[in-house]
Structure 1
Amino acid sequence: MTLLDECIEALGEDAEILMNSEKEKVLDALESSFPFAEWGRIDWDKVSKKENVNTVDDIIAYLENCYQNFDPVVYIIWDEGTLPIIKSDLKKVLEVIDDVTAVSFDTWIFSPTSGYVIEIYHEGEVWVGIR
C-alpha cells in the first residue's frame, strides 16, 4: 500500500479523487486565488490576510475568526504533479493530517468556495491565508 492509498483510506469513504480536467480546474482556482513564488510556495508577503500557525487548533481558530461560516469542503493538493487531488472535509483532513502530509513534501489544503488555503511546507512552516 502506498502513502497515497493510506491517506485515502484514512480520509474515509467520503473522500473523492480528482484527476485530469477536474484536477486542472482546482489547480487553476488555487493559482488564480493566491500568488505563487517561482520556487513553488505561496508568496506570503503578497497575501494580506494570513497567519503563521502551529497547531490544528490554531488553524480552526483563525478560520473561525475570519468567517462566521466557512465551507468545510476542501481540496488536498500536493507538490508532486502526478498525484491526484483529493476532495474531502476539512475536519476529517485535520484529524488525519499526518497521513495527508506523508504523501509528498509540500501540501496545500484549499477551499475555493470560502477562499482560504492552508500551506504545509516540508520544513515545518504552516500558513493559513485568505484571498
Structure 2
Amino acid sequence: MSLFDECIEALGENVHVLSDSEGEQVLRDFENSFPFTEWGRIEWEKVTYHAKMNTVDEIISFLNQNIDEYSNVIYVIWDERTLPIIQSELNKVFEVIDDVTAVSFDTWIFSPSSGYVIEIFHDGEVRIGLK
C-alpha cells in the first residue's frame, strides 16, 4: 500500500479523490490565489496577511480571528504533480496530519471558498495565509 493509499484510508469516508479535470481546476484556482516562487513555495512576502504556525490550535485560532465563517471543506495538494488532489474536511485532515504530510515533501491545504491556504513545508515550517 502506498503512502497516498494510507492517507486516503486514514481520512475515511469523508474524502474524495478528484478527477484530473477537477484537480486541474482546483490547481488553477490555487495558483491564481497565491504567488509562488520559482522553486514552488508560496512567496509569503507578497501575501498581505500570513503567519507562521506551530500547532493546530494556532491555525484554528487564526482562522477564527480572521474569517467570519470559514469552510471546513478543503483540498489537499502535494508538490508531486502525479498525485491527485483530494477534497476532505479540515478537522479530519488535522486528525491524521502525519498521514497527510507523509505522502510527499510539501503539502498545501487550500480552501478556495474561504480564501486561505496552509503550507506545510518539508523542513517543518508551517504558514497560513489569506488571499
The verdict on a shared fold, with TM-score over 0.5 as the criterion, is yes
CA distance in 1, matches of 2:7, 2:57: 21
Deviates more, 1:66-75 or 1:97-106: 66-75
Q: Aligned residue for 1:48?
A: 48
Letter in 1 for 2:57: D
* Residue segments in structure 2 that go unaligned for 5+ positions in a row: none
1:103-122, aligned counterparts within 5 Å? 103-122=103-122
Q: Aligned residue for 1:70?
A: 70
Q: Aligned residue for 1:126?
A: 126
Q: Aligned residue for 1:5?
A: 5
Percent identity at matched positions?
A: 63
CA distance in 2, matches of 1:100, 1:19: 19
Moved over 2 A (4+): none
Letter in 1 for 2:76: I
Q: 1:14 Cα deviation (Å)?
A: 1.4
* Residue segments in structure 1 that go unaligned for 5+ positions in a row: none
Aligned Cα root-mean-square deviation (Å):
0.5
Q: Aligned residue for 1:82?
A: 82
Question: What per-residue deviation string (whole Å, max 9, x for no partner) do you get for residues 34-66 of structure 1?
Answer: 000101000000001101000111111100110
Normalised TM-score (structure 2): 0.99
| Secondary structure, aligned partner of 1:61 | helix
Normalised TM-score (structure 1): 0.99
